[in-house]
Structure 1
C-alpha cells in the first residue's frame, strides 16, 4: 500500500529556527531518509521551495495562464512530502511517527487511492 506523508510549515516557523541548529536537523532528516530508503519503504522524499515560489497554472483559451502564489490564502503551506510503500497502515503510521520532527508537529498521512500504471 502506498501512502503520502506530508509536513506543513510557515515562514515564521522557519525564521524562528536557530541557524546553528539547521545542520543537525538536516543530518537527522538525511538519516531518516536513508533508513527507510534502505528498507525499500521510502520511495521518495521531497522538500518544497518557499510558498513565495509557488505558481498557479490554469488553461485559458488553450494556453497556460500562470499566476504567482499558492492557491490557499493561508500562513501554513505544504513544506515537504514523502511517498511510502508499506505493508499496512500501521507501518505507515510507525514511519510517520519516526520522522525527526513528529514530536513537535504532526505528519499528515494519506492513502494513495490510484496510481497510473507506468508505460512499458
Structure 2
C-alpha cells in the first residue's frame, strides 16, 4: 500500500531555524532518506519552494489562466512530502515516526486510494 507523509512549515519557522543547525538537520534527513530508499519503502521525497512561489492554474476559454497562490490562506503549508510503499499502515506509521522532524512536529500520513503509474 502506498502512503503520502507530509511535513508542514512556514517561512517564519524556517527563518527562525539557526543557520548553523541546517547542515546537521539536512544530514539527519538524508540519512533517513537513504535508510528507507535501501529498504524500497521510500519511493521519493520532495521539498517545496516557498509558498509565495505557488501558482493557481485554471482553464478559461480553453487556455491556462494563472494567478499567484497559494490557494489556501493558512499559517502553514506543505513543505515536504514523501511517497512511501509499505506492507501495512503500522509500518507506514513507524517510518513517519522515524522522521527526524517527528521529535518536534507531527507528520501527516495519508493512504493513497488510487495510483496511475507515471512510467507507462
TM-score (norm 1): 0.97
Runs (4+) off by over 6 Å: none
Q: Distance in 1 between matches of 2:119 and 2:51?
A: 32
Tell me, in whole angstroms, the C-alpha distance in 2 between the residues paired with 1:14 and 1:117. 33
Aligned to 2:34: 34
**Deviations 1:62-116 (CA, angstroms, capped at 9, x unpaired):** 0000001211011200000000000000000000000001010000000000011
Distance 2:70 2:78 in 1: 10
Q: Confirm whether residue 70 of structure 1 aligns to residue 63 of structure 2.
A: no
Separation in structure 1 between the aligned mates of residue 64 and residue 70 of structure 2, nearest angstrom: 16
Give the total of aligned pairs.
120
CA contact (8 A) 1:5 1:108 kept: yes
Consecutive unaligned residues of structure 1, counting only runs of 5 or more, are none
Cα distance change on mapping 1:116 and 1:35 into 2, 3 Å: same
1:6 and 2:6 matched: yes
Which SS does the other structure have where 1:58 is aligned?
strand
1:113–1:22 CA distance, 2 compared to 1 (3 A): same
Q: 1:118 Cα deviation (Å)?
A: 4.9
User: What's the offset of the Cα at 1:117?
Assistant: 4.1
- The alignment partner of 2:75 has SS state of coil
Unaligned runs of 5+ in 2: none
Corresponding position of 1:80: 80
The aligned counterpart of 1:25 is: 25
Q: Which has the higher helix share?
A: 2
Question: In structure 1, what is the Cα distance between the partners aligned to 2:55 and 2:23?
Answer: 29
